[in-house]
Structure 1
């Protein structure tokens, strides 16, 4: 059974409510309908209720598969606002929130914040910036985390890692040149994401062009500082480095290069790139020469699961990301 098969099985065993604020988008509605009809999620379409129902009928969808939330329904909106402003540490108050909730993206996230839905899924009609801003404003960031980042899951044929052919990598999509604190946030978030999604015991390697001082320079100093911050902030997590990539994933190389005890060296299941240059190139090398399937990016750092999918993604890929997001919500 492949990784996606296992994730789909988990989703079907515990379907979560996923809000779709871009419900009128044809690809998004199709993906929501198919994942809902197949029993993986409970799709909640957020927007103009009449327009959504008409579009669903025209496209041949059974309305009973969906829950439809009309953002123009004032009683429901008032109840949501009351619940939201009563939450601790909310940024927006009643009047400002009421204005924001004219936008289905913000309305869906308020529903998520008060636990009427488990996931907000967007990214086709809204830009990444739109989704990140709404997420930070309404959902907020996890305690101790100040950086939104991403993680991907690579299924690499022929790779004999500690989790078989699977390897989690981040950040390959959001943070261009993270400083030491941001890099530590990325590592901590990655561990929590992997634990929630796959039930792995995270073993997270901070990689660079140096293994334990074999090289010197500012780029290495940043990774070393990030490791110190991460270990101080979350001593419960197995985060280690700085390692070269081969020392992180190969037991034979780790035996030669890492002359101290490590829970991570040679058996890392999470790789944290030092910056987006390395991350982007690294993932593409794994895909092109390792013939890997790469799932994601999965946004992380928020208090709850917020998903920003690719605008150009086909329906099949959107469905996969919806299911992954639902399973992450089950594990948090």
Structure 2
């Protein structure tokens, strides 16, 4: 059974409520319909109820597969606003929340914040920036985390690592040149994401061009500082470094280069890149020359699961990311 098949099986055993604020988009509606029809999620379409129902009929979808939330329904809107402003730590007042809820994206996230849905899934009609700002405003960040980042999951044919052919990598999509503090946040968030999605024991390696002081320079210093911060924040997590890539994932190389005890060296299942130049290039190398399937990017750092998919993604990829997001939400409860 492939990793995606395992994730699909998890989703089917515990379907989560996924809000689609881009409900009228043809690809998004098709992906929502197929995941709902297959029993993988409970799809909740947010927008103009009349228009959504008309599009369902026009496109040949069974309306009963969806829960349709009509944003014009005043009593439910008022109920959501009241529930949101009563949440502890909420800074927005009723009028400010109401203004933002004119947007389906913000409406869906308010539903998520109050527990009416488990995931908000967007990204075709909204930019990544739109999704990030809405998530930070309405959902907020996890305690102790101040950085939104991403993680991907690579299934690499021929790779024999500590989790078989699978390797989690981040950040390859969001943080361009993270500070040491941001890099530490990325590592901590990655451990939490992997734990909720895959039930792995996270073993997280901070990647550099140096292994334990074999090189010198400010690029290495940043990674070393990030490691210290991450360990101070979460001493319970197995995060180690700085390691070169081979020392992180190959036991025979770690035996030669890492001459101290390490729970991570040679058996890392998560790699944290030092910046986006390394991350983006590495993922493309893995895909191009390693013929890997790469799933994601999965946003992380929010209080709840928010997903931003690629605008050019085909329906099959959108479905995979919907299911991954749902399993993460179930695992984080």
Deviation of 1:145 (Å): 0.3
**5+ long unaligned stretches in structure 2:** none
Instruction: Give the secondary-structure state (helix, strand or coil) at the position aligned to 1:69.
Output: strand
Contact 1:189 1:301 in 2 (8 A): yes
Partner of 1:178: 178
- Per-residue CA distance 1:137-178 (angstroms, 9 max, x = gap): 000000000000000000000101000000000000000000
Deviation of 1:92 (Å): 1.3
Partner of 1:242: 242
CA distance in 2, matches of 1:74, 1:92: 19
Partner of 1:74: 74
Partner of 2:291: 291
CA distance in 2, matches of 1:93, 1:104: 19
Deviation of 1:237 (Å): 0.2
Instruction: Give the secondary-structure state (helix, strand or coil) at the position aligned to 2:97.
Output: helix
Partner of 1:26: 26
CA distance in 2, matches of 1:255, 1:183: 26
Contact 1:122 1:309 in 2 (8 A): yes
Partner of 1:259: 259
CA distance in 1, matches of 2:300, 2:93: 25
- Per-residue CA distance 1:273-304 (angstroms, 9 max, x = gap): 00000001111111111110000000000000
Deviation of 1:252 (Å): 0.1
CA distance in 2, matches of 1:91, 1:305: 20
Instruction: Give the secondary-structure state (helix, strand or coil) at the position aligned to 1:42.
Output: strand
Q: How does 1:173-252 map to 2 (within 5 A)?
A: 173-252=173-252
Deviation of 1:192 (Å): 0.1
Instruction: Give the secondary-structure state (helix, strand or coil) at the position aligned to 1:159.
Output: coil
Partner of 2:42: 42
Using the size of structure 2 for normalisation, the TM-score is: 0.99
Partner of 1:94: 94
Contact 1:91 1:137 in 2 (8 A): no
Misfit runs of 4+, over 2 Å:
none
CA distance in 2, matches of 1:239, 1:289: 28
CA RMSD of aligned residues (A): 0.4
**5+ long unaligned stretches in structure 1:** none
CA distance in 2, matches of 1:86, 1:167: 41
Contact 1:249 1:266 in 2 (8 A): yes
Q: How does 1:95-174 map to 2 (within 5 A)?
A: 95-174=95-174
CA distance in 2, matches of 1:139, 1:72: 22
Partner of 1:268: 268
CA distance in 1, matches of 2:131, 2:280: 21
Instruction: Give the secondary-structure state (helix, strand or coil) at the position aligned to 1:36.
Output: helix
Q: How does 1:310-329 map to 2 (within 5 A)?
A: 310-329=310-329
Using the size of structure 1 for normalisation, the TM-score is: 1.00
Contact 1:91 1:138 in 2 (8 A): no
Instruction: Give the secondary-structure state (helix, strand or coil) at the position aligned to 1:282.
Output: helix
CA distance in 1, matches of 2:19, 2:211: 44
Deviation of 1:91 (Å): 2.6
Deviation of 1:89 (Å): 1.2
- Per-residue CA distance 1:166-212 (angstroms, 9 max, x = gap): 00000000000000000000000000000000000000000100000
